[in-house]
Amino acid sequence: MTGSDGKPAPRAEFSLGVVDEAIYAIRRDATVDPLTFFFGRDYNAVFTTDSLTYYFNGEAGKRRMRLAELRPPSRLAQLKPERLVQPKVRKAFPDTSFWATDLVTDSAGHARAKVEFPDSLTTWRATARGATSDTKVGNATLKTIVRKNLILRLAVPRFFVQGDEMVISALVHNYLANAKTARVSLEVSGLEILEGATKEVQVPSRGEAKVDWRVRAKQVRSATVTGKALTDEESDALELTLPVDVPGVKLSTARGGSLNGGLSTAYDLTFPEKVEPGSRSLAIRVSPSIAGSLFGALEYLTSFPYGCVEQTMSSFLPNIIVTQAVRDLGLKATYDEASLQQKVRAGLDRLAAFQHEDGGWV
């Protein structure tokens, strides 16, 4: 790291993140350039606008996705034809491979960070942002491509359903200089292979080949699919773990009432036929007053997986209203005040991230 004068910047603190480039194809990096933020020109002007003429346009529609940009193939030594290269099974595919916020440069302006790339074959973007004690700031990005000359891809659904039958396809891409005979196999756990077996297919240079298997999902909750493509020069293997859902619909039944003195009450619960074994549960909640039942509703509202602005408001606004009601009425309620404030703050931060350039949220 150097300053504007080209001299090293010692003791500079900076962050470094290495993220899959595909993420930025979906949404661009909106972080402000630190140089512009601290030393940008600021005009003394007042603008008035409204949201009536606001419109949306795509950000990634005109960008070319650089997910598997190829370089000239490396000249690897040709192995004996009867020997097949055993590959490393690729199974780790995180979106972020490295993140650090406490890197510090030495007297020469250098700092080192060891980054181990996961198994994703993609373009990785490294972004560094740094600052010195006297507010010298800067940032830089660098992209690198992780690729192979022979690539196996598995065409699978996002999830299975118990008892369903579907086709799993293995796609082999050959970027080697010569055509190859690939031995393509599929190993499964939690699935039953109905049709298909290990095959040897011809894959031309700069070409691809496909092998299909028909499978059936077993009575399990997860399944593992491992595909392999072996050649005498380079090989690839891929392992995916996918959920297996239970066929049916989740149903809930609620009963409520009040008890006075030592009285008891009874409720009849009717379960539907062919219920998944072990899926039934019973929860009983007792509160000394009607106000106590509000906290159970708060737990549901704050744990629901919200997405839009309206749903985000529903995640923390009831917390504020119920807290204020408990204080105004002087009710005795046992709840974690710090946890409640943390949820409110998380909701406000998420809501602020949704705000558009015109100041609105719609």
What tens digit of pLDDT does each residue of 190-213 get? 999 999 999 999 999 999 999 999
pLDDT digits (tens, 9 = 90+) for 305-347: 666 777 777 777 777 777 777 777 776 666 667 777 787 788 7
Q: Kindly list the distances between the CA atom of residue 76 and the CA atoms of 82, 176, 236, 345, in Å, as whole numbers in the listed order.
A: 17, 9, 15, 56
In angstroms, the CA 260 to CA 289 distance is 12
Q: Where in the chain is the domain with CATH 2.60.40.10?
A: 150-245
Place of tokens 């949820």: 343
pLDDT at res. 73: 45
Q: β-strands 236-245, 160-161: how paired?
A: parallel
- Return the percentage of the chain with pLDDT > 90, whole number: 42
In angstroms, the CA 134 to CA 78 distance is 57
pLDDT at res. 49: 74
Q: Indicate the pLDDT class of residue 247, thresholds 50, 70 and 90.
A: confident
Count CB neighbours of 198 within 10 A.
13
Residue 352 pLDDT more than 70?
yes
SS (H, E, C) the chain: CECCCCCECCCCEEEEEEEEHHHHHHCCCCCCCHHHHHHCCCCCCCCCCCCCCCCCCCCCCCCCCCCCCCCCCCCCCCCCCCCCCCCCEECCCCCEEEEEEEEECCCCCCCCCCCCCCCCCCEEEEEEEEECCCCCEEEEEEEEECCCCEEEEEECCCCEECCCEEEEEEEEEECCCCCEEEEEEEEEECEEEEECCCEEEEECCCEEEEEEEEEEECCCCEEEEEEEEECCCCCEEEEEEEEEECCCCCCCCCCCCCCCCCCCCCCCCCCCCCCCCCCCCCCCCCCCCHHHHHHHHHHHHHHCCCCCHHHHHHHHHHHHHHHHHHHHHCCCCCCCHHHHHHHHHHHHHHHHHCCCCCCCCC
pLDDT at res. 74: 42
Q: What is the mean pLDDT of the chain?
A: 82
Lowest-confidence pick of 28-32, 53-57, 347-351: 53-57
Q: β-strands 191-195, 150-155: how paired?
A: unpaired
pLDDT digits (tens, 9 = 90+) for 250-283: 777 877 777 777 677 788 888 777 777 767 788 8
Please give the average per-residue pLDDT across 221-227, as a whole number.
94
pLDDT at res. 301: 63
> Do 235 and 88 meet the contact criterion of CB atoms below 8 Å apart?
no
The better pLDDT of the pair 252, 223 is held by: 223
Q: Indicate the pLDDT class of residue 217, thresholds 50, 70 and 90.
A: very high
Residue 131 pLDDT more than 80?
yes
CATH class (in words) of the domain with range 150-245: mainly beta
pLDDT at res. 290: 63
Q: Indicate the pLDDT class of residue 65, thresholds 50, 70 and 90.
A: very low
Please give the average per-residue pLDDT across 74-102, as a whole number.
76
pLDDT at res. 128: 94
> Do 13 and 113 meet the contact criterion of CB atoms below 8 Å apart?
no
Lowest-confidence pick of 97-101, 234-238, 269-273, 298-302: 298-302
pLDDT at res. 309: 76
The better pLDDT of the pair 62, 122 is held by: 122
Please give the average per-residue pLDDT across 77-93, as a whole number.
73
pLDDT at res. 306: 60
Please give the average per-residue pLDDT across 2-15, as a whole number.
84
pLDDT at res. 41: 81
Residue 59 pLDDT more than 60?
no
